[in-house]
Amino acid sequence: MTDHKLPMRAKLATSLSRGAAALSRATGRGDGSVIGGRIALMVDPNLLAELAAGREIALISGTNGKTTTTRLTAAAMGVLGDVATNSLGANMPTGHTSALAKAGATPYAVLEVDEHYLKQVLDATHPKVVALLNLSRDQLDRAKEVAMMAALWRDALPGRDLHLVANADDPMVVWAAGKAVAAGTSVTWVAAGQRFHDDSWVCPECGASIERNGEQWACVAGNLSRPVPHWTVSGDGVVDNTGTYHHIELQLPGRVNRANAATALAVAAHFGVPPAKAVPELSKVASIAGRYAVVERDGRTIRLLLSKNPAGWLEAFDMADDVPTLLSINARDPDGLDTSWLYDVDFSPLRGRRVLVTGDRAMDLAVRLEVNDVPFEHVKSFSQALTLIPPGRLEVIANYTAFQDIRAELDRVN
């Protein structure tokens, strides 16, 4: 697909999108991908479909890990040719429109999709592969919303010419994929793990309970159970669908990112990328929009981990090394105003290490840590935390706006 093949209205919308994005960047209002896409879609509501036409596309959706998995998948797909991608996480149709317009003609696109928009983006982009990572609650007790989201996916997926790459360890994902798979859609099951089980104790099909035994899980009453995975994470690597083990050196921490890498490799493999060629590309991916960034300050080596929801906090505890750890919590609009989700998270893995707390809602966090019997120190700011810990390492785990605050503070110090 090249620009000159686009209809006149689409061409106009595309150039408006680029212009608005450039203007938005120039005035310091973010990277411009959302505003540019929004203006373009106003001019031509069909623009996303027109920009997608002629490209082979992979969509990546789920509650957690989609930005990282999108980045890893785009890196793996780069073996084949140019890849358009919404690498800054603008994951709604405006962001997709803007990303494709900005990239110009590319044979491939890898798009992160907000889970609420999956059907809309499926309709517009006709992807070749769709990766379903996981479904869990965001800030609040939204188990009902999780089931609703799974039902939306389940109805959106059948009857399309696509291949699924789906997480065998998440009952909600398996059920969401199940209707399409039963109707003949091909699927690659990845044992990508599930750190947070609280949203999938109840079978979404029949309401009976789901029992777990090691890695296996099954509904006690019906047929829903863990499919046999084609790809698995094993030690420091991944075993592919032919049984071949690939050692993976990632710059990104934790088992959860090895699972994201497994998904990325499985998606790329379906486009014809041999895992052995993709693996070296994955190891080049470092921080993603500041996540996992390692920063040096005053003899301290600081690593930033973003956690947006209960599953994300548990994953961050797995990733964080046993060194002084600063936790920061806000409860502004993008975070959710209610901090009761803190009680969905087991903070006991932090016992035994030096814990500091800060952020607008440090006191809520303090109460929660008391309950879990984790000693802590309260600090007024990130900078104060830096003065209290000895030279060496510091892990920072923060929710969304708290993470942005700390990044801004680091930039100012710079």
- 350 is an interface residue for Zn ion by CB under 5 A: no
**Binding status of residue 220 toward Zn ion by CB under 5 A:** no
Q: How far is the CB of 223 from Zn ion (least distance, A)?
A: 7
Q: Please report whether residue 174 would count as binding Zn ion according to CB under 5 A.
A: no
Is 338 a residue of the active site?
Answer: yes
The residue behind tokens 């600081």 is: 302
Q: Examine residue 201 and tell whether it contacts Zn ion (CB under 5 A).
A: no
314 near Zn ion, rule: CB under 5 A: no
- Contact between 38 and 101 under an 8 Å Cβ cutoff? The reply is no
Q: How far is it, in rounded angstroms, from Cα 306 to Cα 165? A: 25
Residue of 54, 222, 272, 375 interacting with Zn ion (CB under 5 A): 222
From residue 308, alpha-carbon distances to 32, 82, 187, 312, 334 in Å are 23, 31, 29, 6, 9
Angle between helices 171-182 and 143-156 (to 10 degrees): 20
Among 22, 148, 206, 294, binds Zn ion (CB under 5 A): 206
Say if strands 129-132 and 186-191 run parallel, antiparallel, or are unpaired. Answer: unpaired
Residues 6+ apart with CB under 8 A from 174: 166, 167, 168, 224, 226, 227
Binding flag, residue 210, Zn ion (CB under 5 A): no
Stretch that binds Zn ion, among 31-39, 212-220, 275-283, 389-397 (CB under 5 A): 212-220
Residues making up the chain, counted from first to last: 414
Closest to Zn ion by CB, 183 or 206:
206
Q: How many residues bind Zn ion (CB under 5 A)?
A: 7
Question: Residue 193 or 204: which CB sits closer to Zn ion?
Answer: 204
Q: From the list 205, 360, 377, 409, which residue makes contact with Zn ion (rule: CB under 5 A)? A: 205
Catalytic residue of the set 338, 344, 373, 411: 338
396 bridge partner residues: 304, 326
Whether the CB-CB separation of 303 and 251 falls below 8 Å is answered with no
198 binds Zn ion (CB under 5 A): no
CB nearer Zn ion, residue 175 or residue 347: 175
Using the rule CB under 5 A, is 294 a contact of Zn ion?
no
Taking the complex as a whole, how short is the minimal distance between the CB of residue 207 and Zn ion, in angstroms?
7
Among 51, 90, 110, 219, binds Zn ion (CB under 5 A): 219
Task: State in angstroms the smallest separation of the CB of 135 from Zn ion.
Answer: 16
What are 295's two structure tokens?
């920063």
Q: Does 147 sit near Zn ion (CB under 5 A)?
A: no
| 392 lies in the site for Zn ion, by CB under 5 A | no
Question: What minimum distance in Å lies between the beta carbon of 203 and Zn ion?
Answer: 3
- Specify the stretch interacting with Zn ion by CB under 5 A; choose among 74-82, 92-100, 207-215, 398-406: 207-215
Which one, 83 or 224, has the nearer CB to Zn ion? 224
Taking CB under 5 A as the criterion, which residues in 32-51 touch Zn ion?
A: none
The rounded distance, in Å, linking the Cα atoms of 407 and 385 is 14
Which stretch, 170-178, 179-187, 222-230, 309-317, contacts Zn ion (CB under 5 A)?
222-230
Q: Which C-beta is closer to Zn ion: that of 47 or that of 174?
A: 174
Q: Out of 16, 92, 166, 203, point to the residue binding Zn ion (CB under 5 A).
A: 203
Q: Specify the residue, 30 or 222, whose C-beta has the smaller distance to Zn ion.
A: 222
Pick the piece of the chain touching Zn ion (CB under 5 A) from 42-50, 145-153, 205-213, 313-321.
205-213
The interface region with Zn ion, picked from 46-54, 91-99, 119-127, 203-211 by CB under 5 A, is: 203-211
Distance, CA of 97 to CA of 6 (rounded, Å)? 14
- The residue type found at 398 is A
Residue whose C-alpha is closest to residue 171's, from 209, 114, 121: 209
Nearer to Zn ion, 217 or 376 (CB): 217
Residues 65-104 that bind Zn ion (CB under 5 A): none
Residue 224 or 402: which CB sits closer to Zn ion? Answer: 224
Query: Which residues would be at the binding site for Zn ion (CB under 5 A)?
Result: 203, 205-206, 208, 219, 222, 224
Active site (catalytic) residues: 338
